[in-house]
Amino acid sequence: MLDWFTGVCLYDASHLNPDVVYRVNSQGDIAWSKECYIEAIGSYDEKLQLQRAIYPEMVIPSRTGGIVSSDLLRISGNPTKFLQGHNVFGLGVDSLTSLIAGSVLGLPKTLCPVDADIDRDFIVKMSRVDIAKMINLGSHEVVHRWIQQLALSARRRRASALMSGDTVYIGMGSRRWNIKAYCKACELLKHPLLRDANFTKLLYGICEGMLRMELTLRGQEIEDNPDLSEDTFWKYFDRLQIGAWDMARVKNIDNLPMAVQGIFWRWYSGDTGRSLCKSTATFYRQRRLILDSLGVDIDVPRVNQEQVLEYVRFNGHELREREVKAVPDIIRSHVYNPEVQLILVKI
């Protein structure tokens, strides 16, 4: 599902009147100025950030007086939460344009563009898109075990996983993309829906045993890979190196040189990191051979065998199989439907 959007859209934003921040130099001249975001609060008390983006080469005919505008609308926020009040389940990234169009139509009247109901290809530029997945692991305990396993062993190139609270970040701080994983039920306990305690309780019951994973794509990465879909998440997940190992893979160890096999078994017996080899260059060369053949990263300490077996039950293939793709019937009426909104607009 789509969980965040930041981008510029082909809507007239000339009506916005934002606060402006100025920097004045010692001579009293304005060195630079920057318009602030305007907060738009929806019917569920969720917010979107709006800003004017100046594109002189792109003009929008106005409905009044034939005036044209080069002030386009920049939107930043979670359109799913804005439209339905929660982001446990929602429409996928395939419905991105419907969600953004619906969000613009749902803006307060003073902030809504006059051309909000015009049907056109309106997305000019995307600088951030988040794609979220819900994975059913069966129990609350297993979710937390899997998260701990990921924190211990996952990495993206040279960047290891980082754990902050109960959330694991892989590629945190990257200007291109990163993935995070956490327990959605625990997040609902920490951040309940203020508008409806009973509905929060209902969502918590649905989310028990659910792993939440989110992929964040940023500007340059989106420009290089503009065709977004629900499969985009798994494409990036497959790039991660998971250090935990599967006993079935050890049969491939005979394909490795004896010296490399010895390094693997030393790692398995408890030796860690650079102590396995005399030089850093040798260590990274042998690490690559073992990683490519066995899927084991010897730069990550061997974890407890029980945890490893728990991970093996839920490798990348099984996670795909356990992805929750259908909205539970009990909350289907609480998920945004663009066709219903279209009917309301026409009325």
- pLDDT of 305 higher than 50: no
Angstrom distance (rounded) from CA 67 to CA 151 = 55
Angstrom distance (rounded) from CA 328 to CA 331 = 6
- pLDDT of 311 higher than 70: no
Angstrom distance (rounded) from CA 281 to CA 234 = 32
Beta bridge partners of residue 314, listed in sequence order = none
Q: What is the arithmetic mean of pLDDT over 116-134?
A: 89
- Closest CA relative to residue 135, chosen from 327, 326, 320, 312: 320
- What residue spans define the domains of the chain? 2-21+30-241+319-336, 245-302
Angstrom distance (rounded) from CA 168 to CA 179 = 8
Under 8 Å between Cβ of 46 and 85: yes
Under 8 Å between Cβ of 307 and 148: yes
Write out pLDDT tens, residues 242-293: 755 455 556 678 888 888 888 888 887 777 766 778 788 888 888 888 877 7
More confident residue, 215 or 270: 215
b vs e for 130-156, b when ≥16 Cβ sit within 10 Å of the residue's Cβ?
bbbbbbbbeeeeebbbbbbbbbbbbbb
Neighbouring C-beta atoms of residue 112, cutoff 10 Å = 17
| Per-chain mean pLDDT for the chain | 83
Q: Among 8-12, 206-210, 295-299, name the one with the lowest average pLDDT.
A: 295-299
Angstrom distance (rounded) from CA 136 to CA 210 = 5
Q: How confident is the model at residue 307 (pLDDT cuts 50, 70, 90)?
A: low
Beta bridge partners of residue 154, listed in sequence order = 242
Angle between helices 280-294 and 258-269 (to 10 degrees): 90
- pLDDT of 230 higher than 80: yes
The predicted structure's pLDDT at residue 308: 47
Q: How confident is the model at residue 240 (pLDDT cuts 50, 70, 90)?
A: confident
Q: How confident is the model at residue 310 (pLDDT cuts 50, 70, 90)?
A: low
Q: How confident is the model at residue 306 (pLDDT cuts 50, 70, 90)?
A: very low
Going by their DSSP bridges, the two strands 68-69 and 154-156 should be labelled as unpaired
Neighbouring C-beta atoms of residue 68, cutoff 10 Å = 11
The predicted structure's pLDDT at residue 159: 65
Write out pLDDT tens, residues 132-181: 999 999 899 888 888 877 876 777 766 667 778 789 898 888 899 999 99
Q: How far is CA 301 from CA 245, 252, 257, 305, in A?
A: 12, 21, 22, 12
Structure tokens at 343: 């009917």
Under 8 Å between Cβ of 163 and 222: no
The predicted structure's pLDDT at residue 65: 46
Exposed (0-12), middle (13-18) or buried (19+): which is 247, by Cβ within 10 Å?
exposed
The predicted structure's pLDDT at residue 347: 43
E-strand stretches of 167-319: 167-170, 177-183, 210-218, 241-242
Q: How confident is the model at residue 309 (pLDDT cuts 50, 70, 90)?
A: very low
Structure tokens at 167: 């959330």
SS3 286: helix
Percent of the chain clearing pLDDT 90 (strictly above): 37
Q: Among 30-34, 63-67, 113-117, 126-130, which range has the highest average pLDDT?
A: 126-130
Q: How confident is the model at residue 344 (pLDDT cuts 50, 70, 90)?
A: very low
The predicted structure's pLDDT at residue 303: 56
Angstrom distance (rounded) from CA 304 to CA 245 = 11
- pLDDT of 302 higher than 70: no
The predicted structure's pLDDT at residue 263: 87
- Closest CA relative to residue 50, chosen from 11, 2, 84, 3: 11
Beta bridge partners of residue 51, listed in sequence order = 74
Give the global pTM: 0.77
- The terminus-to-terminus CA distance of the chain in angstroms comes to 29
